[in-house]
Each structure stands twice: as C-alpha cells, then as structure tokens.
Amino acid sequence: MDPLYSDVEHQLKQSRESLDFALKSGRMGTWDINLETRTIQCSKEMLEIWGVSAEEFNGQRSVLQSKVHPDDLQRMNDAINAAIHSDHVYELEYRILPSPGIQKWVMSRGRCTFAPHSPIAIRFAGVVFDITDKKAKEEALDAAIKSRDQFYMIAGHELKTPLTCLQLQMQVIEFELKQKFPGAYASEKIGSGLKKQQEHLLRISRIIDNVLDESKISEGRLKIQTELFNLCEMASEVIDRFKVIAESSGVEVQFHCTQKVLGTWDSFRIEQVLLNLLINAIRYGKNKPIYVEVTKDEENAMLIVRDQGIGISSEDQPRVFERFERVISENKISGIGLGLFISHNIVQAHRGKILLKSKIDEGSEFTVILPLK
C-alpha cells in the first residue's frame, strides 16, 4: 500500500477515534438530514441515546420520531420546520422514550446549509445531547424552591396573625394610657418604650411581608390590581404617616408636588415602593433631611426620593436591586436585602423602571418611573 495513503488513513482513523471519544464522553450524538433526498444519517451515539439499533433505524426518520414523547412531538416538528425555512440555529429540549418506562431529556441543536446563491436549504445537521441528569437536577431544584416558598408562606401567615393582634393590643394600650394616665404615658420609660416596641413590631411585620412577597415573585404570583389615582395625593398621605417615624429619628422629610399626577397603577404596591425607599433613606441617610418629589412629563410619572446619606458606589449600584443583596453587611443598619428587589419587581410589573444616582458620602437619589398609560 502507498505509505502516504496509509498515513492519511491512520490519521483519519485517529481523528474518528477522538471524535467517538468526545461524542461518548459528552453524551452527545450527531444527525444529518439531506433535505433533497429526505434521507437521514445518525451517529451510533445518537442511536444509543434513542435506544435504537442500526438495523431497527435503517435510515428511517419515523423510527426516531416514534420514540419522541407524544406531548413534545408537535413542538419538535414545528421547531424543525421553522429552522428549515430560516437560517436560524435550531435548538430544542424535548423528551424521548427509548424503552418502556424509561424517559430521557435531550437537547438538539442544528442549522441548515443552503444551496449556493439559493434560499433553499439542502442539508440540516446538528448534534444532540443527553441532558437527563441536568434536567433531573433542575427539577429537584425547582421542587426544593417550591417547598421552601411554601414553607415561607405558611410560616409567614402563621406569624402574621399573632403579630397583627399584638400590634393592635399595643395601640389600644397606648391609647388607654394616653387618655387615662397621661402622667405615666409622658414618662420616658413608658411612653417612648411603647413607641420603640411598636417600631420593633412594625419592623418584624415588614420583614415577614417582604419574605412573603419574595416567594410570590419567585413563583410569579405577584398580582397587580390597578385603579385610577393621584400619585401626588397618595405620596402626600404616605409621607404624613411616615413623618411620625422620621421625626422620632430626628429626620426631616420635605415633599414637593405641584400638580395632579393621575395614572392607573396598583396603589397598595406603589405605596409599598415609596415606603421601602423612605425607610432606606432613613436607614442610610445619616439623619439628614430627605427630599421627596412627584412630577410628570408627557409619558411618565416620576417619584423621586433623595437622601444625603452614605451613598452607594457605582460598582455596587447594579446589585442593590438583586435578591438578598446588601452593600454593607452591618446588621445594625441593613435589613435583609429584599426591599429594593421587591420594589424593582413591582415597578417592572407596571412596565416602569427605577433609576439610581448615587455618590459615596453624598447621598442617593432613586427615581421611580411609571408610565402614565
């Protein structure tokens, strides 16, 4: 035999072996459809994944299709047809049933080749991966997240009921004391002690609400119930209530709104966003005055909350809207890092956005933008 020919043959054999090894270890097969002759070729690895012998297969696409899960077959055919009529990459995850009682997940990825200077596809080829293990892990993770969320929900509701009773009782005690024993109420220990206890209860109650909302968001259950209202009026009411808390921390809140800002939003949820921003402005605002403004342009309403506190560095700014992210981890000031995550999700559900401008040691300005329509 010609030594050159034998050398080429040896190299070909070696690369086929390397390819076989790569396909096997990557749990991957290859497929190649000739669209002119309608014939299909598959690697032996793909047939192994499908649980089909070379004899059974015998170049028939129907043999492979017969193993596709009936609920995924239409989806698969639609995706293939769409790919054949475009030059997009075809990528699809679907289930196959290689033998009775066995189900596998596969991910197929491929692309068409076109005749020169023609829009007609002549070949459609690609690879298929066995992703059963990955899917099993994903499903186990999903189930774990679901049961965690259910636990949060049940524990949250169980905690909320006695907490609400406790809050009401405290309010009654405070009222009675104020009316009947004003002298006792005025004493530092009793009056301000009661106020402190109510603040702590409010804080616990907000943490529970935030955890419940977080699980609603991760399950896609956060519902928005819209109604027409004046954002300016709502903000003014929230700030009046909030001033009591702010003043007890010695913080002045300035509010500016000169016009009606009417829109169809979820008032309960927008109030929650404003409260989250105000609480942060107190927490991180170094006790300096907080400025709130409601305004609008032709398309959007704007709710601005500005403080003159510790600020957030430009590197940290993108992550403060993520779940459980806190820039400073001192538990003394930070919460559990859910307020901005929830606010961001609420605003997104209104097709709006929150912008953040901030400089370390100079303060932060959050602008909530809500479409008027």
**Integer Cα distance of 269 and 353 in angstroms:** 14
Which of 312, 321, 320, 317 lies closest to 364 in space, CA to CA?
A: 312
User: Which of these ranges, 78-86, 109-117, 212-220, 331-339, lies near ligand ADP under the rule CB under 6 A?
Assistant: 331-339
The least CB distance from residue 329 to ligand ADP, in Å, is 8
Instruction: Say how many residues touch ligand ADP, by CB under 6 A.
Output: 23
Instruction: Give the number of other Cβ atoms within 10 Å of residue 269's Cβ.
Output: 22
CA angle 220, 278, 200 (to 5 degrees): 85
The only residue of 66, 230, 287, 334 in contact with ligand ADP, by rule CB under 6 A: 334
Residue 126 contacts ligand ADP per CB under 6 A: no
Classify 363 as helix, strand or coil: strand
Which residue has 């899960």 as its token pair?
69
Residue 309 contacts ligand ADP per CB under 6 A: yes
Residues recorded for the chain: 373
Strand partners, 291: 254, 306
Residue 211 contacts ligand ADP per CB under 6 A: no
Which residue has 């009026």 as its token pair?
233
User: Which of these ranges, 69-77, 118-126, 184-192, 334-342, lies near ligand ADP under the rule CB under 6 A?
Assistant: 334-342
User: For residues 347-366, which are near ligand ADP according to CB under 6 A?
Assistant: 364
Residue 280 contacts ligand ADP per CB under 6 A: yes
Residue 129 contacts ligand ADP per CB under 6 A: no
The only residue of 105, 129, 291, 341 in contact with ligand ADP, by rule CB under 6 A: 341
Q: Are 110 and 92 in contact (CB under 8 A)?
A: no
**Integer Cα distance of 265 and 177 in angstroms:** 40
Nearer to ligand ADP, 12 or 328 (CB): 328
The only residue of 109, 134, 135, 326 in contact with ligand ADP, by rule CB under 6 A: 326
Residue 82: exposed, middle, or buried by beta-carbon count in 10 A (0-12, 13-18, 19+)? exposed
The least CB distance from residue 305 to ligand ADP, in Å, is 8
Residue 282 contacts ligand ADP per CB under 6 A: no
Structure tokens belonging to residue 27: 């749990």
Residue 291 contacts ligand ADP per CB under 6 A: no
User: Which spans of this chain sit near ligand ADP (rule: CB under 6 A)?
Assistant: 276, 280-281, 284, 307, 309-312, 320, 325-328, 334-341, 364
